[in-house]
Structure 1
Amino acid sequence: MRPRPASDLFGFLQSSHSCLLQSYRFVPRSLFSHNQIYSNNVIPHFSTVSSRTTTPTRMSSTRAVVASVYSVSVSTPQNLSSSPEDVANKSHHLENGKGFTNPWPSWRDLDPIKALKTIARHRVGPDSAGIWGPSTTPPTVPVVTPQFLPARSTVSTEFRATWLGHACFYVEFPGGFRVLFDPVFSERCSPVQFIGPKRYTKMPCDIADIPVVDAVVISHNHYDHLDHNTVIKLKKHHPDAWYFVPLGNKAWFACSGVEKCIELDWWEERDIVLTPSNSQISAGSSPSTDPNELSSKVQAEPTMEGPKANGIVARIGCLPCQHTSNRGLTDRGATLWASWSIESGGKKVYFGGDTGYRAVPPDLPKSVDDYGEEFRDLPVCPAFKQIGELRGPFDVGLIPIGAYVPRGVMSPMHANPYDAVRIFVDTKCNKALGIHWGTFVLTDEPVLEPPRLLKEALGKEGIEKEGVFDVLNIGETREY
């Protein structure tokens, strides 16, 4: 391993591409980041530190039990899911372990100077939303108070997804497993909280309002997807949560005091099992604080597959997407980016995170349909069809639909609603919900345009405009 410089850019805000839309300024790196050491090595075949956790259990009329003590283990599955034949080639790894790349012709790397010129021309052009970007004057996206299940039951059949703004979703699986995707609970997606892209819609809840978090899944390290303040709050309120991150990001979490972190490469998987202890906590009693009873244990062998008696089992898979990473000027592509699959309680979710689908020509006017006949041969990212064929179908996809203008600059790394519908079809999702919009101004499209274009794109593909691939109000829950 070799040290990488800490994030030293104040104006880069959330990523190299979207920060081109902001004013730049440098400050000492010690103000907002950790020194980091990155490693591109895959973790061992089993990596389990298991602490017994006390989590709520839903009350029944015939059972006076209010909580169970769970032992949590994470391991490599004995029976792996299907993967591409060339997975061992690791074509997305740069030589000598120097980082990662998108290995497809659908990708076009960012030229900062050309991108700045394109953005400047767009800001003063006829298609511009104005020199200061799109208006965020209310009303924009409605925000409602989330209605989480107050407790969980291993026999529950409820399957719920709640949008908490931008790319953050909280998913409650049948059987009790609870996952939080790309949480950002700060006012700004920035290295610091006094400047940078600010929320134009309020947070629907606090981290402390979320009843249970078993796993936190991170797509990549841009500031609008990975927020240090949020991670610190999660560690305080949900200390038993495990974090699943793409390769190279584990060191950042270690510097933030998070030890329960698993980093994975594309197509790798882990099983997480929450097994209740022999003792349960009855109504009116208190959880044990005996350090011997609640001490951590290390599992020396991979977990046996299959459901445990009254336990909770989930499989988490790291999958490809077309994006990039950085938290400063000098670490672009140093850590991996990913989409994810989560399966538990007989239901499977695909989380797209942040991704592009195809690179359209630069300087393309907004009035030109880049899905027109003249662009039909543009390469598309093949990873999504592989995901659908090898790991699908999925019950629900959480797919990005925003941050795509100027299209010539953003298209390689940010899907627009037309791309999102293609990703939905390629990954074989039965239903989908839109993410990556409605919270921060990162690009130049009007803030309410993504859901409108999503309906147009669905209609163009012959898919019902409502009830298949929808958007939610922030804080709203969809049950399946």
Structure 2
Amino acid sequence: MTAPLLHAVISSPTSPQTAPADVASKAHHNKKGVGYINPWPSYAERSALYMFRKIIYMRLSGKWKDPDTTPPTVPIRKPEFLPTRETDRLRATWLGHACYYVEFPGGLRVLFDPVFTARCSPLSFMGPKRYTEMPCQIQDLPYIDAVVISHNHYDHLSHPTLKAVVEQHPSARIFVPLGNKPWFKHMGLRDDNVTEMDWWEEKELKLSAAEHNDPDNKPDDILATIGCLPGQHTSARTAFDKAHTLWASWSIASGGKKVWFGGDTGYRTVPELPPDEFDYSEKYADLPHCPAFKQIGEHRGPFDLGLIPIGAYDPRFIMSPMHANPYDSVNIFVDTKCERAMGIHWGTWVLTSEEVLDPPKLLKQALKWKGLEQNLFETCDIGESREF
């Protein structure tokens, strides 16, 4: 399949998949104000002021340690993308942090949470700066049919990156959670190619060659089902718009393969504990965990591949409502019924206080603790591709 795919049709599925019985109540819609909430006891609100005070105290008391980003850290490879749409296997390439480029059998090419900038910040000269280089640029990607955005934090939604995507791949469709479409028009980007979705909503995407002069050799249409699913997180672009737009995880099914993209999520809220105390011990077994992931597994799983966050988790008592640590991640892996998984949301920017190479080390320990084989849930070099 070598003809350019320029014509996209998005429709509601003729045979929608099942969803939890309480979906119609839309418990995640804020009934007492604007925006959205996490409707589970597994989530506890951490205000910016709370986090600022705790971090300042930890710094002044010597309890905070800045991670060491001295090279070498995470190895970087030059990505090798397939030159055509021909493949019979699912192929996923990590491009740093939460960004993955996934090549599906049948031809679909999806880019998740792309941020191709030096900083994840509203400012080009201030904010978290990459300690690992970008492995490539948008122009190096041969095809982009769909861009999937989990939420609007700066390490997941990048204006310069999406501007480059729209310029170089004008037929690409962009899928975002509710409330995020107006941002595109506000930032001077096209919004006619943007589709907003709510949790548990599905869309069917059909991509066809706009022009083809040989009807006997016309390429097949590419079909995909895009599902917007829950996650335990929040959103904000400024100090004044927290949770005004929705956050989400996503499922993509195409070519007989299905991927779950976790984006950015927490799993349970952990209290402040002594430094060496294990919060998954029997003592803390009653801490509530987010039920949405089992619902995802039951109603939309199993998945051939999960892209599951494993980093930005310390200090645990501050970050746990929003960010999974690897012990949370392996539980999410099991709950969502992923057959294999790759770790995301690490290895790119210093956002929290764990050492930059700790997430994959802790993931190995968590898999052993859960009684799972190490090759079921792995990490890789930036720019590396894996086939499933």
User: Equivalent residue for 1:358?
Assistant: 268
**Alpha-carbon deviation of 1:311?**
1.1
Matches within 5 A, 1:14-163: 57=1, 66-68=2-4, 70-95=6-31, 98-124=34-60, 128-129=64-65, 133-153=66-86, 156-163=87-94
Confirm or deny that 1:220 pairs with 2:148. Answer: no
Compared with structure 1, are the counterparts of its residues 74 and 122 closer, same or farther at alpha carbon in structure 2 (3 Å cutoff)? same
User: Equivalent residue for 1:8?
Assistant: none
| Aligned counterparts of 1:310 and 1:451: Cα–Cα separation in 2 | 40
- Larger C-alpha radius of gyration, 1 or 2? 1
Q: 2:112 aligns with which of 155, 158, 181?
A: 181
User: Equivalent residue for 1:295?
Assistant: none
CA contact (8 A) 1:161 1:169 kept: yes
**Alpha-carbon deviation of 1:70?**
4.5
Confirm or deny that 1:377 pairs with 2:302. Answer: no
User: Equivalent residue for 2:126?
Assistant: 195
TM-score calculated relative to the size of structure 1: 0.78
Q: 1:342 aligns with which of 248, 252, 256?
A: 252
**Alpha-carbon deviation of 1:276?**
3.2
Matches within 5 A, 1:311-460: 311-361=221-271, 363-460=272-369
User: Equivalent residue for 1:257?
Assistant: 189
Compared with structure 1, are the counterparts of its residues 125 and 418 closer, same or farther at alpha carbon in structure 2 (3 Å cutoff)? farther
SS at match of 2:363: helix
Alignment-mate amino acid for residue 175 of structure 1:
G
| Aligned counterparts of 2:238 and 2:286: Cα–Cα separation in 1 | 35
Alignment-mate amino acid for residue 355 of structure 1:
T
Confirm or deny that 1:172 pairs with 2:80. Answer: no
CA contact (8 A) 1:161 1:170 kept: yes
Compared with structure 1, are the counterparts of its residues 137 and 346 closer, same or farther at alpha carbon in structure 2 (3 Å cutoff)? same
| Aligned counterparts of 1:69 and 1:472: Cα–Cα separation in 2 | 31
Q: 1:205 aligns with which of 136, 147, 155?
A: 136
Structure 1: which 5+ residue stretches go unaligned? 1-56, 58-65, 283-307
**Alpha-carbon deviation of 1:98?**
1.1
CA contact (8 A) 2:3 2:212 kept: no
User: Equivalent residue for 1:478?
Assistant: 386
**Alpha-carbon deviation of 1:111?**
3.2
Compared with structure 1, are the counterparts of its residues 442 and 163 closer, same or farther at alpha carbon in structure 2 (3 Å cutoff)? same
C-alpha RMSD of the superposition: 1.7
Alignment-mate amino acid for residue 10 of structure 2:
V
Alignment-mate amino acid for residue 478 of structure 1:
R
**Alpha-carbon deviation of 1:122?**
3.0
Alignment-mate amino acid for residue 350 of structure 1:
W
SS at match of 2:307: strand
CA contact (8 A) 2:307 2:342 kept: yes
Confirm or deny that 1:463 pairs with 2:379. Answer: no
**1:211-238 C-alpha deviation (Å, 9 max, x unpaired):** 0000000000000000111111111111
| Aligned counterparts of 2:91 and 2:300: Cα–Cα separation in 1 | 21
Query: Structure 1 vs Structure 2: percent identity of aligned residues?
Result: 58
| Aligned counterparts of 1:382 and 1:228: Cα–Cα separation in 2 | 33
| Aligned counterparts of 1:280 and 1:323: Cα–Cα separation in 2 | 48
Alignment-mate amino acid for residue 383 of structure 2:
G
Alignment-mate amino acid for residue 99 of structure 1:
G
| Aligned counterparts of 1:277 and 1:113: Cα–Cα separation in 2 | 52
Structure 2: which 5+ residue stretches go unaligned? none
CA contact (8 A) 1:105 1:379 kept: yes
CA contact (8 A) 2:98 2:113 kept: yes
| Aligned counterparts of 1:144 and 1:280: Cα–Cα separation in 2 | 39
| Aligned counterparts of 2:5 and 2:387: Cα–Cα separation in 1 | 28
SS at match of 2:339: strand
User: Equivalent residue for 1:299?
Assistant: none
CA contact (8 A) 1:68 1:280 kept: no
CA contact (8 A) 1:67 1:280 kept: no
CA contact (8 A) 2:151 2:235 kept: yes
CA contact (8 A) 2:6 2:171 kept: no
Equivalent pairs, count: 384
**1:168-214 C-alpha deviation (Å, 9 max, x unpaired):** 00000000000000000000000011111000000000100000000
**Alpha-carbon deviation of 1:373?**
1.2
**Alpha-carbon deviation of 1:96?**
6.2
**1:350-408 C-alpha deviation (Å, 9 max, x unpaired):** 000000000001x3233110101110000000000000001000000000000011100
Matches within 5 A, 1:226-265: 226-255=157-186, 256-258=188-190, 259-265=192-198
**Alpha-carbon deviation of 1:118?**
2.2
